[in-house]
C-alpha cells in the first residue's frame, strides 16, 4: 500500500517538471528566433522554393548585418567556391581571417578555407604560405597533401621530396614510390643540363629510396647506352628482369638494338623469344616476330606467332597473327586476309589503352604520372585489352 501511494505522489511531480522544462525550451527557442533577422527566414523560404541564388543573397545580408554569424559565413564561402565563384569565396574568408574576435580554431579554419580558395583560383604562390602556416593544426595532414600537389605542379622536386617525407612521418603513408619518381625527375633535369654525374647520383638516390624503381633502371640503361658503353647498358637493362619483369617491354627494343650493335643478333632473337614466353606482352610479341622474321625467316616467325595465339587466344595475339599471315599468304588471298586484319585491328585499337588504377583515366601510351589524378606509378604495365575482355572464343 505504501508503495502505491509513493507512485501516486511521484507522477504529478514528474509531470510538473516536464511541463516546466518544455516551457523553458519553448521560451529559449522564441528568444533565439526573435534574434534572427527576417533575411534569414526569407533565405530559408527561398531555399524551400528552389530559388538558391536569391536565397544566397538573403544569407549574405544576414552575414553582413550579424557579425556573430561565423558559421553562416563559412558555409557561404564554401558554397561560393563549389559554385566556381572563387572571388566571392575569397572575400568572405579574408574577412573572417581579418576579424579580431575569432577563436584560434575558427581562425585556423578560416586560413585553411582561404588557402583552398587561392588553390582553386590557381594562385599557388598565395596558397602555399597559408598551407605552411597550418603546421601542427587539425588541418596539417590535408595541408601537406595540397603542398605536395603544389610542388609537383611547379616541378619543385626537392621540396616535393621534403613534404613527402613529412607525410610519411605524420601519417604513415608509403611515399617511397613518389619520392623515387621525384629523384628521377631531378635526374632528368640534371641530365638535360649535361650534369651527368649529378644525374647518376639522383638515380642512385631513387634506387636507395625504392629498390625496385623501374624508371631508374630504364633511365640508367638509356644514358649508359648514349654514353657509348653498350655492353654495360645491356647488362643494366637485363637486370630489370630480376626487379620487375612486367616492365621489360620498356627496354626490349633498345636492348635488342644494342645487342645487334654488338653483333649478337641471334642472342637478341633468343632473348626476346624467351621474354615473350615467360612474360607475355604484345609489345614483346611484336618485337620477337620482327626479329625472327628478319633473322630466321618467315616460317619460324609464323610458327612463333601461331604458338603464342594457341597458348593465349587473345584479341591482341589474333591481330598479330593476321599481321604475320600477310607476310606469307598467297597473293589472291591477301586482300581477304587484309580485310579480316583491318576489322580485328580496328577493334583492338579501340580497346588497347592503359588505365590508371586510381582514377580510371585511359591513355594510349604508358605514363609514370597520371595526367588526370596526378598519382605516380598508377598505370599497370599491361593494356586493358591484354587483361580483360580480350579472349577469343574457340
Tell me the binding residues for Fe cation: 356, 359, 370, 373
Distance CA 334, CA 342 (A): 12
CA dihedral 93, 98, 104, 107 (to 10 degrees): 10
Cα–Cα dist 97/73, whole Å: 11
131/112 Cα distance (integer angstroms): 7
Residue ranges with strand state E in 126-236: none
**How many other CB atoms are there within 10 angstroms of residue 392's CB atom?**
14
What is residue 354's three-state secondary structure? strand
For cell 582553386, what's the residue?
120
How many Cβ atoms are within 10 Å of 22's Cβ, its own excluded? 10
C-alpha cell at 230: 653498350
Which residues 6+ apart lie within 8 Å of 297 measured at CB? none
DSSP character at residue 392: P
Give me the residue label for grid cell 530559388. 51
- Cα 81 to Cα 139: distance, rounded to the nearest angstrom: 18
Binding-site residues from annotation: 356, 359, 370, 373
Q: Which residues contact 219 (CB under 8 A, 6 or more apart)?
A: 184, 187, 188, 203
- Phi/psi for 241 (5° steps) reads -60, -30
Burial class (CB in 10 A: 0-12, 13-18, 19+), 178: buried
- Distances 178 to 201, 300, 365 between C-alpha atoms, Å: 17, 44, 20
Amino acid at each position: 500500500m505504501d508503495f502505491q501511494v509513493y507512485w501516486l505522489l511521484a507522477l504529478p511531480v514528474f509531470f510538473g517538471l516536464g511541463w516546466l522544462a518544455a516551457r523553458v525550451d519553448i521560451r529559449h527557442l522564441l528568444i533565439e528566433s526573435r534574434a534572427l533577422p527576417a533575411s534569414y527566414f526569407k533565405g530559408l523560404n527561398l531555399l524551400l522554393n528552389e530559388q538558391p541564388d536569391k536565397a544566397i543573397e538573403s544569407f549574405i545580408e544576414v552575414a553582413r548585418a550579424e557579425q556573430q554569424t561565423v558559421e553562416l559565413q563559412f558555409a557561404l564561402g564554401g558554397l561560393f567556391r563549389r559554385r566556381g565563384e572563387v572571388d566571392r569565396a575569397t572575400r568572405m574568408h579574408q574577412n573572417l581571417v581579418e576579424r579580431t574576435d575569432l577563436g584560434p580554431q575558427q581562425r585556423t579554419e578560416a586560413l585553411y578555407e582561404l588557402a583552398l580558395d587561392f588553390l582553386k583560383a590557381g594562385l599557388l604562390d598565395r596558397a602555399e604560405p597559408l598551407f605552411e602556416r597550418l603546421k601542427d593544426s587539425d588541418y596539417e595532414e590535408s595541408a601537406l597533401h595540397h603542398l605536395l600537389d603544389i610542388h609537383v605542379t611547379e616541378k619543385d622536386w626537392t621540396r616535393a621530396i621534403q613534404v613527402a617525407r613529412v607525410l610519411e612521418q605524420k601519417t604513415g603513408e608509403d611515399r617511397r614510390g613518389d619520392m623515387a619518381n621525384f629523384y628521377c625527375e631531378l635526374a632528368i633535369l640534371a641530365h638535360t643540363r649535361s650534369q651527368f654525374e649529378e644525374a647518376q647520383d639522383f638515380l642512385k638516390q631513387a634506387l636507395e629510396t625504392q629498390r625496385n624503381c623501374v624508371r631508374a633502371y630504364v633511365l640508367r640503361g638509356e644514358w649508359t647506352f648514349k654514353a657509348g658503353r653498350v655492353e654495360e647498358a645491356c647488362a643494366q637493362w637485363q637486370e630489370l628482369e630480376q626487379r620487375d619483369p612486367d616492365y621489360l617491354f620498356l627496354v626490349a627494343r633498345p636492348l635488342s638494338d644494342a645487342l645487334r650493335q654488338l653483333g649478337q643478333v641471334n642472342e637478341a632473337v633468343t632473348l626476346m623469344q624467351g621474354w615473350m614466353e615467360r612474360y607475355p606482352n604484345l609489345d614483346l610479341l611484336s618485337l620477337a616476330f620482327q626479329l625472327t622474321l628478319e633473322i630466321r625467316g618467315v616460317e619460324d616467325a609464323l610458327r612463333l606467332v601461331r604458338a603464342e595465339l594457341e597458348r593465349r587466344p587473345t584479341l591482341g595475339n589474333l591481330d598479330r597473327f593476321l599481321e604475320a599471315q600477310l607476310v606469307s599468304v598467297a597473293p589472291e588471298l591477301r586482300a581477304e586476309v587484309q580485310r579480316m586484319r583491318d576489322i580485328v585491328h580496328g577493334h583492338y585499337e579501340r580497346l588497347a589503352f592503359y588505365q590508371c588504377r586510381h582514377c580510371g583515366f585511359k591513355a594510349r601510351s604508358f605514363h609514370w604520372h597520371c595526367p588526370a589524378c596526378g598519382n605516380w606509378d598508377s598505370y599497370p604495365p599491361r593494356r586493358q585489352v591484354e587483361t580483360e575482355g580480350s579472349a577469343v572464343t574457340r
